[in-house]
Structure 1
Amino acid sequence: MSASLTGSRPRTRILVFSAALTVGAVVGVLGPLLIDATHPVGHAAHLVLSAGWSWAALAFCVGLARKSRAESVFLATASLVTAVIAYYLTKLGQGTYLTVDLDDPTGVTPYVLWSAFASKTLLWCVVACVTGPVLGLAGNLARNPGPRGLPFRMLVPLLTVVEMSERLRVESPLQGPVVGATWTLVRMAALTVLVALAGRAVMTWRLRPAAGQAEK
């Protein structure tokens, strides 16, 4: 039995690693893929998946899913890097980095601006390598029960409130109604999560003394 368990561990880790990369790739692809969605739901999904808080939530949730801190840090970073690469490969496929050769008399010979594509991808991969370990570790520490894990559980909702508030203040007046409605709903959801987390923590702290007195 022990040999069977030992043999299953590498397979489990491979599956977990594959799942983290797959989720990262899906997040990275769907953001730009839905940019031309005509239905309001598709457009709202694009706004959510392209926001910074959703990428932070990706790394955080990957870290939250693992008991080992080392695995949380590594897998969170790997998922973010995969998301970045998938995002820019999708943008490349959509023609974002295509231009034409001005020296061509016909003016219709397109070519890829590989330097722009590579520099953007590399820049955000570096950002992913810096923020991924922090978010993955935060997700792992959020597993701690009670007040020890509370600040970490509140991290992503707090980031969401800050980002959505800033976007609503600066960008919303220049965007359509779907954009403003989406960001407002996301901010309200994040505030609700924050209140729920804080309320649960308060209730837990109040019940502990009562439970201790009942045992006596």
Structure 2
Amino acid sequence: MVSRLNGASWPPFTAFSLVLGTGWTWAGLAYFLGRSCAASALRASVAALLGLVAAVVAYSLSDLSRGVYRTVDETDPLLATYTDWRGFVTTTGFWVVVAVVVAPVLGIAGRSGRGWQTRAVISKLLIPILALTEMTRRLATEAGFQPSPVAVYTWGVVEGCSLLVVIVILGIRATRTLQRR
């Protein structure tokens, strides 16, 4: 779905694509898959791994079906197009390796996010801080090159919401700590 939305021109779809096409949302998928498997750390890591790898492959196949990997043979007088299988396999393989490395850790972090102990609070802060960091970096770099109003607004809203979530989590933790005293 994200891959299909990348070509969207209607502002709500563009905004949706900008949010779902970022690293923190992929990390959030693995995190919440791990959180849904509270039975054991192994199950949480396996669920996150399988889910994230499946999402990466589905995204890549969607890109392939949309023609993202189509290229022009400039040596052909008719400029025939062909599928760049090497590019497809290389890109997909890279992101699958990234998923295999990070998904188990994110799954375990998601599983650890239950309750309000220090470890759980740190785990709860992981995705909002990733979102805040990524959106801040994107606004500082990409918006300077390609200042699309929809992109700047979308990233700014995500940045603000992420900061709000961090403040709420820390506020709840502080309130609970004070109530125990």
| Residues 1:95 and 2:67 are matched in the alignment | yes
Alpha-carbon shift at residue 103 of structure 1 (Å): 4.5
TM-score, normalised by the number of residues in structure 2: 0.94
Partner of 2:175: 203
In the alignment, structure 2 segments of 5+ residues that lack a partner are none
Partner of 2:162: 190
Alignment of 1:4-153 (within 5 A): 30-67=1-38, 68-107=40-79, 109-153=80-124
| Secondary structure of residue in 2 paired with 1:156 | helix
Moved over 4 A (4+): none
The aligned amino acid for 2:23 is G
Alpha-carbon shift at residue 38 of structure 1 (Å): 2.1
Q: 1:57-86, CA deviations, whole angstroms, 9 ceiling, x for partnerless residues?
A: 110011111112111100101111111111
TM-score, normalised by the number of residues in structure 1: 0.79
Q: 1:97-143, CA deviations, whole angstroms, 9 ceiling, x for partnerless residues?
A: 11233444433x32211111001100110000001011001000111
The aligned amino acid for 1:131 is V
Q: Distance in 2 between matches of 1:103 and 1:202?
A: 66
Alpha-carbon shift at residue 87 of structure 1 (Å): 1.1
Q: Which has the higher contact order (CA 8 A, sep 6+)?
A: 2
Q: Is the 8 A contact 2:116 2:173 kept in 1?
A: no
Structure ID, larger Rg: 1
- CA separation of 1:133/1:111 partners in 2, compared to 1, >3 Å: closer, same or farther? same
Which of the residues 138, 146, 158 maps onto 2:129?
A: 158
The aligned amino acid for 1:186 is V
Alpha-carbon shift at residue 206 of structure 1 (Å): 0.7
Partner of 1:5: none
Number of residue-to-residue matches in the alignment: 179
Q: 1:7-40, CA deviations, whole angstroms, 9 ceiling, x for partnerless residues?
A: xxxxxxxxxxxxxxxxxxxxxxx21211222221
In the alignment, structure 1 segments of 5+ residues that lack a partner are 1-29, 210-216
- CA separation of 1:169/1:101 partners in 2, compared to 1, >3 Å: closer, same or farther? closer
Q: Is the 8 A contact 1:146 1:204 kept in 2?
A: no
The aligned amino acid for 2:82 is Y
The aligned amino acid for 1:99 is T
Q: Is the 8 A contact 1:63 1:136 kept in 2?
A: yes
Q: Distance in 2 between matches of 1:175 and 1:32?
A: 21
The aligned amino acid for 1:167 is R
| Secondary structure of residue in 2 paired with 1:154 | helix
